[in-house]
Amino acid sequence: MERFKKASSIIEILKQHGHEAYFVGGSVRDLIIDRPIGDIDIATSALPEEVMAIFPRHVPVGLEHGTVIVVENGEPYEVTTFRTESEYEDFRRPSSVQFVRSLEEDLKRRDFTMNAIAMTEEGKMIDLFAGQEAIRLKEITTVGDAADRFQEDALRMMRGIRFVSTLGFSLETKTKQAIETYGHLLEHIAIERITVEFEKLLTGTYCVKGLQELVETKLFSHLPYLQMSEERLLKATQYKWDSFETDIEAWVFFLCCIGEEHPSVFLRQWKFSNKKIKDIVAVLLAIRSRKEREWDTVLLYKTGIHIAEMAERVYEAIIESYNSASVKQVQSLFHALPIKNRQEMNVTGNDLLSWADKKPGPWVAEMLQNIEEAIVQGDLVNKKENIREWLEKCNLL
């Protein structure tokens, strides 16, 4: 409750000005479940302009949705006006938002009952839709009719299965049936938004359970590049998923589990940045090399420590070894390298040109590569005089 106490002054100040205010959303849910608490959100009857007038330190981030970030005690908090939403357009966004003075109206527009619990600054729960009972039963249940909720916002179906993965809860029967019925609406949602939810699913503690629900509800058939992948996804559930340190590792492990042969094509379908695709493919290639041989100085130097650490963790997960010492061995081997990258070489192309008295050409790059390999393999000391002596001895000048 300590973090809520720190934010309670916002609620107290709003109440002093004649407004209602409560803690709402995921932070309240996680408090009940006894999970680590993320961002703390506050809902209030005060209109955005009233919130901004009361709190001089604010950021008007989403006024059209009634959200103002209030900075209190050095921390930013989202303060959002109670609201209802009109008919949804494109199965994702409401055509308009109306601000209201009723907490109940605000809570009943939310996705799942466990996320529709409010809490006073004293810690009293206001649970109008049996959210605490759903948490006790470890069930994910929509607020009101599941068909209505998913037709309003199709992304809620992915959120539901993501919560299966992160919380270990199960989908309530009618909620699950509605996902099976309305899964096709997910095709109206921007791929980038789906990717965010799927990534959270892959990094969840109960990822296997989430993947199983993805298959059972047939929602996978509306995901990029997974339309015909039921068997591959079921194969992925046979692996023991670990909590990876990075989202890149989770994606790499997933691609290994489903046996994806064209990772770059797959990832482009999910609208990944070129940088992220490059990193994921680099880890996959490193794992392929790692399967063929142990890490050595040349392989580790070419791979780089960042990619190598991720590759080793995923490789250990694939073979179900989970040997943390192996990653430390990779780190020790890397730190023992004479150089970590080409920039650390004590020779330049200009040095070679002056020593050889030759015109510039492809030979310079080739020579630098030969020197680099010799240094990494320990055959050459990384000092300018040693490098020149080595070149002369090898008749390379």
Decide if 194 contacts 158 (C-beta within 8 A): yes
Q: By the 8 A CB rule, do 97 and 83 touch?
A: yes
Does residue 293 have a known ligand-binding role?
no
Listed in sequence order, the DSSP H helices in 101-184 are 103-107, 131-137, 146-152, 155-167, 173-182
Residues 224, 268: Cα–Cα separation, whole Å: 9
| DSSP-derived pairing of the beta strands 41-44 and 75-81 | parallel
Answer for the pair 177, 209: CB distance below 8 angstroms, yes or no.
Answer: no
Residue 41 assigned to a binding site: yes
Decide if 213 contacts 161 (C-beta within 8 A). Answer: yes
Q: At residue 93, what are phi and psi to the nearest 5 degrees? A: -120, 140
User: At 287, which amino acid appears?
Assistant: I
Torsion of CA 155, 157, 161, 166, to 10 degrees: 50
Each as own residue / partner, the long-range contacts of residues 372-381 (CB below 8 Å, 24 or more positions apart, any chain) are 372/339, 372/342, 372/345, 373/298, 375/338, 375/339, 375/345, 376/297, 376/298, 376/301, 376/337, 376/338, 376/339, 377/297, 377/298, 378/297, 378/338, 381/338
Between CA 362 and CA 217 the distance in angstroms is 58
Annotated ligand binding at 153? The verdict is yes
Q: Establish whether 39 is an annotated binding residue.
A: yes
Distance of CA 389 to the CA centre of its chain: 51
Is 106 assigned to a binding site?
Answer: no
DSSP readout, 8-57?
Answer: HHHHHHHHHTT--EEEETHHHHHHHHT------EEEESS-HHHHHHH-SS
Residue 26 labelled as part of a binding site: yes
Place of tokens 């409010």: 118
- Residues 367 and 360: their CA atoms lie apart, in Å, by 12
Question: Is 162 one of the annotated binding-site residues?
Answer: yes
Residues making up the binding site for ATP: 26, 29, 110, 153, 156, 159, 162
Residues making up the binding site for Mg(2+): 39, 41
Residues making up the binding site for CTP: 26, 29, 110, 153, 156, 159, 162
Residues making up the binding site: 26, 29, 39, 41, 110, 153, 156, 159, 162
